[in-house]
């Protein structure tokens, strides 16, 4: 069974640019959530999608947005990048809603110069 796949794995952007990250969940999983991981703040919840609907949203500015497609694949977008957006962005899928068992991808490491 294939795991959660995130692309790209690494990317470098400059301030003011925008970026789109992609996540393919485990086959059959309909819930996808996104997290930002930094050394100082740890893992912080961005948003969660289930069946193309955003179920929950963390405390991030509107520059951070996401969506989920009918095949459960998800994308997140960050516009007007700032230096502080440099982080590892992790996607996790869940077989249902609130099962508690998240399966994480290996992440997309974003560096903003």
Partner 1 sequence: EDQVTQSPEALRLQEGESSSLNCSYTVSGLRGLFWYRQDPGKGPEFLFTLYSAGEEKEKERLKATLTKKESFLHITAPKPEDSATYLCAVETGANNLFFGTGTRLTVIP
Q: Does 23 bind partner 1 (CB under 8 A)?
A: no
CA-based nearest residue to 67, from 22, 10, 108: 22
User: Whose Cβ is closer to partner 1: residue 33's or residue 72's?
Assistant: 33
Place of tokens 């703040």: 41
Q: Does 60 bind partner 1 (CB under 8 A)?
A: no
DSSP 8-state code for residue 39: T
Q: Does 53 bind partner 1 (CB under 8 A)?
A: no
Evaluate whether 30 touches 112 at the Cβ level (below 8 Å): no
Q: How distant is the alpha carbon of residue 113 from its chain centre?
A: 20
User: Whose Cβ is closer to partner 1: residue 37's or residue 79's?
Assistant: 37
Please give the residue ranges that form the binding site for partner 1 (CB under 8 A). Answer: 4, 33, 35, 41-45, 55-56, 58, 90, 92, 98, 100-107
């Amino acid at each position: 069974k294939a795991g959660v796949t995130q692309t790209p794995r690494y990317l470098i952007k400059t301030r003011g640019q925008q970026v789109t990250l992609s996540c393919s969940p485990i086959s059959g999983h309909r819930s996808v959530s996104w997290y930002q991981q930094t050394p100082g703040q740890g893992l912080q919840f961005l948003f969660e999608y289930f069946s193309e609907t955003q179920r929950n949203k963390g405390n991030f500015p509107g520059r951070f947005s996401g969506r989920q497609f009918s095949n459960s694949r998800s994308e997140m977008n960050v516009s007007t990048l700032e230096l502080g957006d440099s982080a590892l962005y992790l996607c996790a899928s869940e077989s249902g809603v609130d099962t508690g068992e998240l399966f994480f991808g290996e992440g997309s490491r974003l560096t903003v110069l």
